[in-house]
C-alpha cells in the first residue's frame, strides 16, 4: 500500500465500516459469519488479506451460493478488527444491516 490512491480507498473503506458498526449490524468472526451466510441473513462479507486460503475459498463458495457480495479487505486481520473499533483480530466480518452507510452500493466488484 505504497500509493496514495490505495491509502485513500483503505481510509474510505474504514470510514464506511465505522459507520456500519455504529448505525447498522455486523457479525465478527468466521463461525458466526458462516451461520449468517447459511441462513441468508448476510448482505456482504469482508475477508482480511491474511485469512487462510482454504477458509477464504470456503467463504467465497458459500457466499456465491447465498448470492452475497464478498469484499477482500486490503488490510490484515488486526487492521480489520481495529477498523471495526474492536481491540482484537477479526479475519471475517459479515454485514447484516448496513445502517446509514453506503458500503453495499460503493464496493461492487
pTM for this one?
0.88
3-state DSSP: the chain helix, strand, coil percent, rounded to 5?
50, 15, 35
How many residues does this entry show for the chain? 109
Buried b (16+ CB within 10 A) or exposed e, 63-80: beeeebbbbebbbebebb
C-beta separation of 16 from 103 below 8 A: yes
SS3 87: coil
Query: Distance between CA 80 and CA 46 in Å, rounded?
Result: 9
Per-residue pLDDT of the chain (109 residues; tens, 9 = 90+): 467 777 777 788 999 999 999 999 999 999 999 999 999 999 999 999 999 999 999 999 999 999 999 999 999 999 999 999 999 999 999 999 999 999 998 876 4
Amino acid at each position: 500500500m505504497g500509493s496514495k490512491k490505495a491509502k485513500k480507498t483503505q481510509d474510505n473503506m474504514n470510514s464506511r465500516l465505522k459507520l456500519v458498526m455504529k448505525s447498522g449490524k455486523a457479525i465478527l468472526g468466521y463461525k458466526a459469519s458462516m451461520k449468517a451466510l447459511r441462513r441468508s441473513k448476510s448482505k456482504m462479507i469482508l475477508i482480511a488479506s491474511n485469512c487462510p486460503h482454504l477458509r477464504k475459498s470456503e467463504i467465497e463458495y458459500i457466499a456465491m451460493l447465498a448470492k452475497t457480495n464478498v469484499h477482500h479487505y486490503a488490510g490484515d486481520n488486526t487492521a480489520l478488527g481495529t477498523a471495526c473499533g474492536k481491540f482484537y483480530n477479526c479475519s471475517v466480518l459479515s454485514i447484516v444491516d448496513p445502517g446509514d452507510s453506503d458500503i453495499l452500493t460503493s464496493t461492487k466488484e
